[in-house]
Amino acid sequence: MTPNNFTTVRDLLRYAVTRFNTGNLFFGHGSNNAFDEAAYLILHTLKLPLDKLEPFLDAHLLPNETAQVLQVIERRTSERVPAAYLTNEAWLGDYRFYVDERVIVPRSFIAELIPEQFSPWVEDAESVTSILELCTGSGCLPIMLADAFPNAQVDAVDISADALEVARRNVADYALEDRISLIQSDLYGSVPKKKYDLIVTNPPYVNAGSMSKLPEEYRREPQVALAGGDDGMDLVRKIVAGAAERLTRNGVLIVEIGNERAFAEAAFPDLELTWVSTSAGDDMVFLLTADQLKKQ
């Protein structure tokens, strides 16, 4: 098939949707269906506004533009590369982040809670001066946290030097180098001995059974950022165990665990986890206070 078979954005959009649906692609890295993914990839490749498809549907393309779009469609379909790796960008709300294969594609239900400053569990956002964010990946959450808590210094931790290179680029893009410190550490291991008002984390939590069934698109991501052991709780246990001595008196720990609520409740039978509502329901993010942790 040559680029000259297609003359308009509409032609390419129809073709991409058919290819994506025929290829049974998995959508979970920014869009949830073939049409939205196709529209995004086409608009991004042509450097058109991502929120304005309609005005360009019948625009005639140059042969080299068509060829560029077809190349992206082909890689997405035949190689099952997540769209974010093809465009080197991912979005959380209104925030755009640089991403590549060194980090998982940003996606977090915690991101929905940050603009509300974790109300009502955090009573005064202005009084939050120190935040620890574990398993930072691309650095997306600490950037959002720095915006939501204007008086806070944020320590962002990851075990992967590669991931921290990506995070460094994003922190620089948002000019937050003076407020976000990037630390290579295995969880708390190399973190400064200080107290934090908030500990926030979206750690690897996929259980072994689920890891073996992941779609090919997820297998493209760094597996160390996904795998959480037999029950998905290996890192979560360590995070919860170390949080008490790291939190201030009124501090709060916020942990995202995806679809693993049953495993989380089984892992912490003596803790009354507070489940925070998100767009996906009440099973994705739990919260514990310093008081609860110190009683353990």
Domain boundaries, given as residue ranges, for the chain = 3-87, 103-294
For residue 98, pLDDT beyond 90: yes
Average model confidence (pLDDT) across the chain: 93
Look up the pTM and report it: 0.92
pLDDT > 70 in the chain, percent: 98
Is the Cβ–Cβ distance between 102 and 162 less than 8 Å? yes
Is domain 3-87 given the CATH code 3.10.450 in the classification?
Answer: no
Q: Confidence band (pLDDT; 50, 70, 90) for 174? A: very high
Backbone angles phi, psi at 42, to 5 degrees: -70, -50
Q: Report the Cα 165 to chain-centroid distance in Å.
A: 16
Cα–Cα distance measured from residue 149 to residue 126, given in angstroms and rounded to the nearest whole number: 6
Matching fold, domains 3-87 and 103-294: no
What's the mean pLDDT in 272-279?
94
Taking a C-beta distance cutoff of 8 angstroms, is the pair 17, 34 a contact? yes
Say if residue 4's pLDDT is above 50: yes
Residue 96 above 50 pLDDT? Answer: yes
Residues 54, 101: Cα–Cα separation, whole Å: 31
Pick the CATH number of 103-294 from 3.20.20.70, 1.10.3720.10, 3.40.50.150, 3.60.40.10: 3.40.50.150
What pLDDT shows up at residue 210? 83
Could you tell me which residues come within 8 angstroms of residue 57 by beta carbon, excluding any fewer than 6 positions away? Answer: 8, 9, 10, 13
pLDDT of 1 above 60 = no
**Interval 119-134 mean pLDDT:** 96
